């Protein structure tokens, strides 16, 4: 796995040399989450996630003076959850429900000259068999040669959903040599699947750009750019500690309206998450690798969980 990550990073670096001094207004790419990226031999709880994104920067000449950028985004994704093992045929021994979530969404982000970011998003989706998560996990296991799955007949039932979210990021301080900075981050989710609020901090060290020109905030794309970036390319380490208050999670608790799922649990309301990562962004490419460490989320014998995330984005006109 380490050799594969080094190869991907080297390829991005080589290809990025062909886009010196250029800027692009569109971005397409994906993010993949999986606990196997940490080479721990685990396949449990939040076991897999796949997300596809397309972003477009609107014409910056038409924005009011206080705004640096406005970026529109459409996305689709799937999250897959299972107990400690995907082979859990006995519902009495399951410590988290089998569950899936499939969605399509749209979002708009506003980036101010004073380096604050405000993002609003909406997702339409479904849980249960309609999420195709059982088929997705079976395809993954059959393709890679993993073990046989058992227990999906006890998954969370079908439930169509709508979820709204808001995120806010604000620069707190930055060093004079532009090599470190600290930002506040907060969010709120409300809907029929996920309800939560959280707050934390983003700390970056390395070759960094402003929050409106950075891979950290998905804002490298531009359309009639107003303010030049500090660096032609970013390469930085980051940490994102965050405290979350979970109000409702349908992938654990089932439907909030008519819960007829065979296996459900209560949620742990206070969840701490620590993300550590490395980000490389050129005008053409972004590559990001992050490690997520989460405390206990389910009121069962299930402990906290860790997983890795790989993101790759390509920019074009």
pLDDT at 16: 46
Both structure tokens of 60: 């910056």
Residue 21: predicted pLDDT: 57
Which residues, 6 or more positions from 62, have their beta carbon under 8 angstroms from its beta carbon? none
What local confidence, expressed as pLDDT, does residue 18 receive? 47
Where is 291: in which H helix or E strand?
strand 285-294
Rounded Cα–Cα distance for residues 47 and 79 (Å): 8
| Other beta carbons less than 10 A from residue 177's beta carbon | 7
**10-residue stretch averages of pLDDT, the chain, 317 residues long:** 52 50 91 92 91 98 96 98 96 97 98 98 97 95 91 97 98 98 98 97 98 98 96 97 98 94 97 98 98 98 96 97
- The terminus-to-terminus CA distance of the chain in angstroms comes to 33
Strand 67-82 versus strand 99-112 pairing type = antiparallel
Measured distance CA(120)–CA(113) in Å, rounded: 18
Tell me if 134 sits within 8 A of 156, measured CB to CB: no
Q: Give the C-alpha separation, 217 to 227, whole Å.
A: 16
Specify the number of domains making up the chain.
1
CATH number for the domain harbouring residue 115: 2.40.128.140
Distance between CA 1 and CA 207 in Å, rounded?
A: 26
Range of the domain at 188: 2-316
pLDDT of amino acid 42: 79
Nearest to 36 by CA among 155, 148, 146, 151: 146
pLDDT score recorded for residue 6? 54
């Amino acid at each position: 796995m380490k050799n594969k990550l080094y190869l991907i990073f080297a390829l991005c670096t080589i290809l990025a040399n062909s886009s010196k001094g250029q800027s692009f207004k569109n971005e397409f790419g994906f993010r993949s989450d999986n606990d196997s990226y940490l080479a721990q031999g685990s396949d449990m709880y939040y076991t897999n996630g796949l997300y596809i994104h397309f972003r477009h920067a609107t014409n910056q000449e038409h924005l009011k003076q206080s705004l640096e950028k406005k970026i529109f985004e459409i996305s689709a994704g799937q999250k897959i959850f299972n107990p400690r093992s995907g082979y859990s045929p006995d519902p009495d021994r399951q410590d988290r429900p089998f569950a899936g979530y499939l969605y399509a969404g749209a979002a708009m982000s506003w980036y101010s000259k004073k380096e604050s970011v405000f993002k609003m998003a909406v997702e339409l989706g479904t849980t249960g068999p309609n999420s195709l998560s059982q088929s997705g996990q079976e395809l993954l296991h059959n393709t890679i040669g993993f073990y046989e799955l058992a227990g999906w007949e006890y998954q969370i039932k079908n439930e169509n959903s709508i979820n709204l979210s808001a995120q806010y990021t604000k620069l707190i301080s930055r060093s004079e040599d532009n090599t470190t900075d600290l930002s506040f981050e907060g969010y709120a989710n409300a809907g029929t699947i996920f309800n939560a609020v959280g707050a934390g901090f983003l700390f970056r060290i390395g070759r960094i750009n402003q929050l409106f020109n950075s891979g950290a905030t998905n804002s490298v794309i531009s359309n009639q750019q107003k303010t030049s970036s500090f660096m032609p390319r970013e390469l930085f380490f980051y940490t994102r500690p965050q405290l979350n208050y979970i109000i409702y999670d349908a992938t654990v608790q089932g439907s909030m309206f008519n819960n007829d799922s065979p296996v459900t649990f209560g949620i742990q309301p206070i969840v701490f998450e620590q993300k550590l990562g490395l980000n490389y962004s050129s005008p053409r490419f972004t590559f990001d690798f992050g490690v997520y460490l989460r405390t206990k989320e389910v009121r069962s014998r299930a402990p906290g969980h860790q997983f890795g995330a790989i993101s790759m984005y390509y920019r074009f006109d």
